[in-house]
């Protein structure tokens, strides 16, 4: 039963279409599957850290307005900078597919981690998952269920990158540039939402 709970929680996150989802797709279309995979690794590292914090001190962080305030401000600024970059200057020649440098892959991974980790809504989701599983099972069983959730999230992110990589060659450069601009606008919208969150 704990296994099924973990799988369902992981699959449920597919419904959460946030900034990190668009960044994963954008990175894959821009530079291929390896870039998308790097983003997926960054995302899962952010999720693992969020889960660790939620397990260690859910009550303290959940009740901390200071943490939520600065996480929202920092996350909003990061998304705003990324959004403006792709609205004003969508660069289609940043890297070469299949020949990405390790430094480029590291940048994709770090960006995936930051976009995911500084988003307070991601923390809220993991606090909810921890509370839910702890209410259903003992601590060790709940932990197993949450690890399954992590595995499902990573697997679905890899599949998203694989799918986007398969169709990337079918997309013409001008359409790709327009997609990047739409991605930038979405990032700006998410940034505004995060920046206003502490004041609402």
3-56 tens-digit pLDDT? 988 898 888 887 677 788 888 988 888 888 889 999 999 999 999 998 988 887
For position 94, what pLDDT does the model report?
46
Q: So what's the pLDDT on residue 45?
A: 95
Q: Is 166's pLDDT higher than 70?
A: yes
pLDDT band at 97 (very low <50, low <70, confident <90, very high): very low
Which structural domain range is residue 30 located in?
A: 2-10+18-91+101-199
Position 71 scores a pLDDT of 66
Is 73 within a domain? yes
- Predicted pLDDT of residue 102: 62
Q: Report the pLDDT value the prediction gives residue 96, as an integer from 0 to 100.
A: 44
Question: Do 13 and 153 touch, CB atoms closer than 8 A?
Answer: yes
Would residue 139 count as lying in a domain? yes
Q: Is residue 119 part of a domain?
A: yes
Does residue 190 carry a pLDDT above 90? no
Helix (H) or strand (E) holding 42: helix 33-62
160 part of a folded domain: yes
Average pLDDT taken over every residue of the chain: 79
Residues in the chain: 200
Please report whether residue 48 resides in a domain: yes
Looking at the 3D structure of the chain, how many domains does it have? 1
On the question of pLDDT at 61 being above 60, the answer is: no
- The residue-averaged pLDDT of 131-143 equals 84
Q: How many CA atoms lie within 13 A of 181 on its CB side?
A: 8
User: What is the C-alpha separation between 192 and 200, in angstroms, rounded?
Assistant: 12
Output the DSSP codes for 107-127: HHHHHHHHHHHT-HHHHHHHH
**Is 69 inside any structural domain?**
yes
**What is the CB-side half-sphere exposure of residue 141 using CA atoms within 13 A?**
12
Which range has the top average pLDDT, 59-68, 79-88, 92-101, 157-166? 157-166
Domain presence at residue 96:
no
| Contact between residue 26 and residue 177 where contact means Cβ atoms under 8 Å apart | no
Q: What angle do CA 46, 191, 84 make, to 5 degrees?
A: 105
Please give the share of the chain, as a percent, with pLDDT higher than 70: 79
Q: Which DSSP symbol is given to 15?
A: G
Render pLDDT for 105-127 as a digit per residue (tens, 0 to 9).
Answer: 888 999 999 888 877 778 878 88
Mean pLDDT of 83-96: 65
**Rounded distance, CA 26 to CA 20, Å?**
10
pLDDT of 171 reads 60
Average pLDDT of the segment spanning 95-106? 61
How many Å apart are CA 32 and CA 185, to the nearest integer? 22
Distance of alpha carbon 150 from alpha carbon 152, whole angstroms: 5
> 155 in a domain, yes or no?
yes
Residue 128 pLDDT grade (very low, low, confident, very high; cuts 50, 70, 90): confident
Cα separation, 157 vs 86, whole angstroms: 22
Beta carbons within 8 Å of 181's beta carbon, 6+ residues apart: 86, 87, 90
């Amino acid at each position: 039963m704990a296994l099924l709970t973990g799988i369902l929680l992981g699959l449920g996150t597919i419904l959460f279409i946030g900034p990190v989802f668009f960044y994963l797709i954008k990175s894959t279309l821009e530079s291929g599957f390896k870039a998308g995979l790097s983003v997926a690794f960054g995302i899962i590292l952010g999720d693992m850290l969020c889960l660790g914090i939620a397990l260690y001190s859910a009550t303290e962080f959940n009740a901390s307005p200071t943490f939520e305030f600065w996480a929202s401000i920092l996350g909003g600024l990061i998304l705003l900078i990324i959004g403006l970059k792709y609205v004003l200057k969508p660069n289609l020649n940043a890297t070469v597919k299949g020949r990405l440098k390790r430094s480029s892959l590291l940048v994709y991974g770090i960006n995936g981690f930051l976009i995911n980790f500084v988003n307070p809504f991601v923390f809220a989701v993991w606090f909810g998952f921890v509370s839910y599983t702890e209410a259903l099972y003992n601590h060790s069983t709940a932990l197993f269920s949450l690890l399954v959730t992590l595995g499902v999230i990573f697997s679905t992110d890899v599949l998203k990158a694989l799918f986007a990589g398969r169709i990337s060659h079918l997309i013409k450069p001008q359409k790709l540039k327009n997609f990047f601009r739409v991605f930038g606008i979405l990032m700006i919208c998410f940034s505004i939402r995060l920046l206003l969150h502490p004041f609402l």
